[in-house]
Amino acid sequence: MTNDSANDVTAFRAAAHELVGAVVDAVEGLSEALRVLDRGSMGEGQSRLRPLQEPLAESLATLGAISVPEQFGPLRGDLARGAEAALEALTAFTADGPREGRSGNALASMRGHARAQELLYPMRSLDPILGQLFAEPAVHDNLAALDAHRADNPEVGIRRSGPDDDADARGEFHLYVPESWDGSEPLPLVVALHGGMGHGRDFLWTWLREARSRRFLLLAPTSVGQTWALMGPDVDRSRLLKAVEFVREHWQVAGDRILLTGLSDGATYGLSTFLAGDTPFAAMAAVAGVLHPKNVEAGVIRGAEGKRVSITHGTKDWMFPVALARAAQEALRGAGADVRYHEIEDLAHAYPREENDAILAWFDESLSARGSA
């Protein structure tokens, strides 16, 4: 290798490391801003995120301007695409405009936030900082072990049911199988339902870090319509159950260790499906959802007796006031359900990633942070 080539490689590595740091700051900053987002906090979130835009844009420009050996060209392109998605998500969130347009900006930011993670995930071994983005702190010292069987097992990693050229198809599902799984043991399964206007492709990232670190299968279905079938014919139930059965047929699922969970409409629909019975789910964890009226008949909740239910709700939820969650947990307990109830004071209508640990520990002690360690 000539001195010029060696200098180019050194410059590329330095620029890539700088860009990775800026991208991770953007992804983590967006995670926090989206978690606390409500109708009155958009401006505050924009103020916190705007300082992240310039370093990310500058690092992206620096990486694009330097000379790199030919073999590093594809890697630079992939990293740039991930960074561009993160920058677009920041730009959508921080855009100035009328109040009525902020919901659309927030949705675009959420989508870009998920897309950035999707694009960056295949490059997680490029830099420890990037690798740590997709792993829990307890395993940061041993990131290589999380990819132990990545090369020799084609059945691991992120997979989808639909065609590769239509990853956004509705009614399909996305699945994550831990790369550290060698196929010799059955794994628990978490089935995560997105909220209204959402998609399984995006909601997968709400749970992937835990699935990868604690080694469980993660299934993220997508509703047939723009949200789950809360009104009219239930067009989602059969597809949901068939997706679970497909996973059980092709991978080793640990018996009755199947958790159904969901956010907002996904929580409401999941709870309704769970209470309706005749499902493989051992428990249901609802986040920012409500008890659907069709589960109540003549003042009595049907199907609740003996069922394990977790309810997590924010006191600042602007879509489903917390009073509805309080009433639901009282009614479910009165109907004989085993209910875990947790209110989060600073949470609006959003998903609290930090709650995943408590949900997993409640569902199965072996999946808790302590059990995993």
**Contact (CB, 8 A) for 94 and 46:** yes
Residue ranges for the chain with pLDDT beneath 50: 371, 373
Specify the pLDDT at position 326. 96
Q: What is the pLDDT of residues 111-132, one digit of tens each?
A: 999 999 999 999 999 999 999 9
In angstroms, rounded to a whole number, what is the distance separating the alpha carbons of residues 359 and 24? 26
Specify the pLDDT at position 37. 79
Specify the pLDDT at position 371. 46
Label residue 6 exposed, middle or buried (CB < 10 Å: 0-12, 13-18, 19+).
exposed
Specify the pLDDT at position 256. 87
Question: In whole angstroms, how large is the CA radius of gyration of the chain?
Answer: 21
Tell me, which fold does domain 139-372 have in CATH?
Rossmann fold (3.40.50)
Q: Where are the domains of the chain?
A: 3-123, 139-372
Q: 1.10.260, 1.10.10, 1.10.3210, 1.20.120: which CATH number matches 3-123?
A: 1.20.120
Specify the pLDDT at position 5. 65
Q: Which of 371, 366, 362, 365 is nearest to 138 (CA)?
A: 371
Specify the pLDDT at position 100. 64
Specify the pLDDT at position 228. 98
Specify the pLDDT at position 108. 93
**Residues in a beta bridge with 219:** 175, 191
In angstroms, rounded to a whole number, what is the distance separating the alpha carbons of residues 276 and 272? 6
Q: What is the pLDDT of residues 12-32, one digit of tens each?
A: 999 999 999 999 999 999 999
Cα-Cα-Cα-Cα dihedral of 328, 258, 210, 185, to 10°?
Answer: 160
